[in-house]
Structure 1
Amino acid sequence: MGLELWRTVLMTPFKLITVFLHEASHAIACKLTCGQVEGIQVHANEGGVTQTRGGVYWLILPAGYLGSSFWGMALILASTNLITARIAAGCLAVALLVVLFVAKNWTLRGLCIGVMNSLFSVYDIYDDLISRRVHSSDAEKFAELCPCPCNGVGWGIIWGMISFVFLCGSIYLGLVILS
């Protein structure tokens, strides 16, 4: 059912949450490295931009994709406890659109959002950085800064693997916590 819905308008709120978490992760990395965040934009076409000044750019650039994977992992793990699942689901209540009517409890709702966020993050890395290679992507900018021989696609593959490890790790930890 999820694959048929992936490119429908019903998934748009979930994707926009992931875009927001992506951009917020850039902003958090910027602030943690003593930079200034000048603005964050999330666009209806599932794109976004974070304007920063200063900070450590080679930490700020990968923070978007890896950060949204981290947030997906955190939501999955938060969903393994009834109280934290209620908090996570409550914070994202606007995005529950379809899941709100299908899921039987708050744990399932939080888990669905966390898994969707993690899956969309992995898919977004593949779509933006590997399959269609956006030249203004975070990975292309990172490749310009990094002295190693990887290009944007190479960094996309590396970030995709890290994101996938976050997803698998969170599912494993979630199962351990639940058992």
Structure 2
Amino acid sequence: MAPYYQLLGKRVLEAAETHVHRRDLTVNHTQSVTLGVMGAYVVVIALLWNLPYVRWSLWPFKMLVIAFHEFGHAIMACCTGGRVKSIELDPHEGGVTRMQGGISAITLPAGYLGSSIIGALLIFAGFNIVASKVASIVLGVCFLLTLWWARRDWLTIVTVLLAVGLLVACWFIAHGEALRWVVLFIGVMSALYSVWDICDDLIIRKVNTSDASVFAQRYGGSSRCWGVIWSLISILFMAIGIIGGIAAFPENFQEQQDDSKKFIPTI
């Protein structure tokens, strides 16, 4: 009889686990709205990205995600024993991180993949107000590090300060409800920009001075090959962020606001 009960118990546990997985990945109304807003963000970003004149409305956010790109280089240089000398952003939507030492096999792809990871994490946090508050605090710490490394570059300083100001202001709108949508937008923008930047620099038009071209020279392969691999990884990160957000945050709008009132409450 013991084996029978053991088998029965195993089947019950498996059924319960399956039920939990199905429930966790079931999209409720609040999550459907979030996904719909994400879809609208993608359309708006794609249009503004390519339309003359109005494309400049995205410029501040482009500079912000370029800062994420450079921060990816910088933080991985520190993690692999290197030293960051400076970070600079270019008004023509470029950037450079000057560093010494570190493991180049990690620091070179850390720009593209770092910004896509940040984007995926922000998308994940964008499914919940409290998570967005936590994400904004982490971003604040990252921005302080970026300011330290970029203390001589006025454009980086202005970009970071404007981003911090926007996040702080959103804390006071509907107990952080606005913060959630801004964090989600920045996440989508960062994830999309990472993929687009890889495709534009390495696949559509080959840029000889890209991170991937240096990576290919040092470790073999072609820059376009590495570009395809990194872009697929970036898309995977974005998908993981979405699935994780759906699984982790099933609360509706009212429940999220109630929770937000208890976590560093604002007027």
Q: Which category of TM-score, normalised to the shorter sequence, fits these structures?
A: 0.7 to 0.9
* Runs of at least 5 residues in structure 1 that lack an aligned partner in the other structure: none
Where 1:50 maps in the other structure, the secondary structure is strand
Where 1:39 maps in the other structure, the secondary structure is strand
Cα distance 1:53–1:137, how it changes in 2: closer, same or farther (>3 A)? same
Where 1:55 maps in the other structure, the secondary structure is coil
Aligned twin of 1:22: 69
Cα distance 1:43–1:152, how it changes in 2: closer, same or farther (>3 A)? same
**Does residue 145 of the first structure (1) align with residue 218 of the second (2)?**
yes
Provide the rounded CA distance (Å) in 1 between the counterparts of 2:236 and 2:161.
27
The number of residues matched between the two structures is 173
Aligned twin of 1:178: 249
Quick check: which has more Rg, 1 or 2?
2
Cα distance 1:58–1:93, how it changes in 2: closer, same or farther (>3 A)? same
Q: Which amino acid aligns with 2:228?
A: I
**Does residue 33 of the first structure (1) align with residue 106 of the second (2)?**
no
Aligned twin of 1:165: 236
Q: CA deviation at 1:93?
A: 8.3
Where 1:117 maps in the other structure, the secondary structure is helix
Moved more, 83-92 or 40-49: 83-92
Where 1:105 maps in the other structure, the secondary structure is helix
Decide whether the 8 Å contact of 1:89 with 1:109 is kept in 2. no
Provide the rounded CA distance (Å) in 2 between the counterparts of 1:122 and 1:44.
21
Provide the rounded CA distance (Å) in 2 between the counterparts of 1:155 and 1:145.
12
Q: What percent identity do the matched residue pairs reach?
A: 40
Where 2:227 maps in the other structure, the secondary structure is helix
Q: Which amino acid aligns with 1:113?
A: I
Decide whether the 8 Å contact of 1:72 with 1:114 is kept in 2. yes
Provide the rounded CA distance (Å) in 1 between the counterparts of 2:242 and 2:192.
12
Where 2:108 maps in the other structure, the secondary structure is helix
Q: Which amino acid aligns with 1:94?
A: L
Q: Which amino acid aligns with 2:109?
A: P
Q: CA deviation at 1:113?
A: 1.3
Aligned equivalent of 1:94, options 162, 165, 172: 162
1:69-84 matches, within 5 Å, as: 69-84=116-131
Aligned equivalent of 2:186, options 113, 126, 130: 113
Q: CA deviation at 1:155?
A: 0.4
